[in-house]
Amino acid sequence: MSDRNYTESLELDLGLIIRALQCKSKSLIEFCQNTLNCIKGGEYAKTIFSAALLEVYETEPDTFDWVVENLYDLDTYTEWLDEFVFSIVQKLIQKKFVLGEDFSLTCTRKIIVSKKLKTSLARNSSKLDRFLLKKILIVVD
């Protein structure tokens, strides 16, 4: 496949997932995701889904909110969220916070933290990270 054809295919696939997300139809999103997965492979589909999420986050915050609230059981989304949660846990450990003492994980992909730790996380985080932190952090006193 030539570079031009690959780029066109990439843009079409990205547009497909973005439009599916805009429709806010879980079954349509799953269908499109599964189709990409079967035709082009899981890693490719996951990459396209991640790129579509970032695009929707930047251009359509309401749609992104819907995705976060409604696609919690879609495999590609949960993998994406798992990677985000894992990256936050890594950041906490790098900052010398201790799992089980300073923060805890729940089975629902949430991180329990203190207000102080939340502030530490939010500092130097991207706009997207801060948005997602609001969705995954449980703050306790």
Query: 48-80 pLDDT, tens per residue?
Result: 998 999 899 889 989 988 988 888 777 778 888
* Mean pLDDT taken over the chain: 89
First-to-last alpha carbon distance for the chain, in angstroms, is: 56
Query: For the chain, how long is the longest CA-to-CA vector?
Result: 57
Q: What average pLDDT does this structure show over 38-52?
A: 92
Q: CA Rg, the chain, in Å?
A: 17
What's residue 1's pLDDT?
62
- The pLDDT-based confidence of 13 (bands split at 50, 70, 90) is very high
**Is 30 in a helix, a strand, or coil?**
helix
- The pLDDT-based confidence of 36 (bands split at 50, 70, 90) is very high
- The pLDDT-based confidence of 127 (bands split at 50, 70, 90) is confident
- Which residue, chain included where needed, has tokens 């970032």? 54
Sign of CA dihedral 6, 12, 17, 18: positive
Higher pLDDT, 13 or 109: 13
CB atoms within 10 A of CB 59: 11
CB atoms within 10 A of CB 49: 27
Q: What average pLDDT does this structure show over 31-59?
A: 92
